[in-house]
Amino acid sequence: MLFSFMKSKPVVADLSFLGVDMHSHLLPGIDDGLQTIEDTIAYMKALQAIGYRKFICTPHILNGLYNNSPETILPQLAIVQKALKEQQIAIEVAAAAEYMIDDLFENYLKDGKPLLTFGKQYILVEMSYMAEATNLYSVLYELIIKGLQPVLAHPERYNYFHTHFERYYEIKNRNVLFQVNLLSLCGYYGKQIKQTAERLIKEKMVEFIGTDLHHANHLKAIQNYVTTAEFYKLTKDIKWLNDTL
Ligand SMILES: [Fe+2]
């Protein structure tokens, strides 16, 4: 039938059922995300217009590339909060970090360094896109015995798991929460990542959705995607933890 080839009608973007974005690179000038405070404010306003009320910004902490720490992240947060207040923009902003599971992170754990968490002691961790972290399970174990709740960033982007879906179950069984990228669902990183993200959601393995927004192309892709009925159909029956933050 002709109609089956037609795209469904765009719907009004409304991400208020998530309310809180807990993974983004919106803090200016400290990683590969936004670089100016003007952009930070403009992007936050654009995301507020599609239903977000709060942003927990998560700059990268990655050995040798982004040597961030509470000392570099929290002053940037304060600058953003001050600018929003001065401009009388009612957006709540907080900060945590996106920790790469690498040697630096392992040392942080060993040395008992203060780590940036959000919500109920949630800590956002990621792995390389090239290969699984060899210390993945030991790091997850360390986090849990410290009373922290690991949240694995964008599990769907680890291509090496795509043909080994059972690994996702294995990781989930170690008390790990999963966060899927809105950009993955958009198809921004390709079909295979989109399909994996959708499967993880359909199998009820995902607790958070994050934007992982870094730049203008990301914002455009998200703005378009959240006007599709497809997105709401996939996500509407799930009690997302975003809204508890
Ligand atoms: Fe990220």
> pLDDT for 147-186, tens place per residue?
999 999 999 999 999 999 999 999 999 999 999 999 999 9
CA–CA distances in Å: residue 78 to residues 75, 132, 193, 194: 5, 35, 35, 35
16-238: CATH, from 3.20.20.140, 3.40.630.10, 3.40.50.2300, 3.40.50.620: 3.20.20.140
pLDDT of residue 146: 95
CA of 11 to the centre of ligand 1 (A): 27
CA of 147 to the centre of ligand 1 (A): 23
Q: Is the pTM of this model over 0.75?
A: yes
Distance in angstroms (rounded) separating the CA atoms of residues 233 and 245:
23
CA of 144 to the centre of ligand 1 (A): 22
CA of 44 to the centre of ligand 1 (A): 16
User: Taking the domains of the chain in order of start, what are their residue ranges?
Assistant: 16-238
Q: Are 26 and 57 in contact (CB under 8 A)?
A: yes
pLDDT of residue 6: 53
pLDDT of residue 7: 62
Strand partners, 60: 98
CA of 231 to the centre of ligand 1 (A): 21
Share of the chain above pLDDT 70, in %: 97
CA of 211 to the centre of ligand 1 (A): 8
CA of 25 to the centre of ligand 1 (A): 6
Distance in angstroms (rounded) separating the CA atoms of residues 105 and 103:
5
Strand partners, 156: none
CA of 165 to the centre of ligand 1 (A): 22
CA of 61 to the centre of ligand 1 (A): 10
Q: Which two tokens stand for residue 225?
A: 């995607």
Q: Which two tokens stand for residue 180?
A: 């899927």
CA of 107 to the centre of ligand 1 (A): 21
Q: Are 26 and 36 in contact (CB under 8 A)?
A: no
Q: Are 76 and 115 in contact (CB under 8 A)?
A: no
Distance in angstroms (rounded) separating the CA atoms of residues 51 and 53:
7
Asked if pLDDT for residue 229 goes beyond 80, the answer is: yes
Average predicted confidence (pLDDT) for the chain: 95
Provide the pLDDT confidence category of residue 9 given band limits of 50, 70 and 90: confident
CA of 153 to the centre of ligand 1 (A): 7
- Summarize pLDDT for 184-207 with one digit per residue, the tens: 999 999 999 999 999 999 999 999
pLDDT of residue 4: 45
CA of 9 to the centre of ligand 1 (A): 31
CA–CA distances in Å: residue 139 to residues 4, 61, 110, 166, 242: 48, 15, 10, 20, 24
CA of 55 to the centre of ligand 1 (A): 13
* Antiparallel, parallel or unpaired: β 98-100 and 60-61: parallel
- Summarize pLDDT for 74-118 with one digit per residue, the tens: 999 999 999 999 999 999 999 999 999 999 999 999 999 999 999
CA of 136 to the centre of ligand 1 (A): 18
Provide the pLDDT confidence category of residue 10 given band limits of 50, 70 and 90: confident
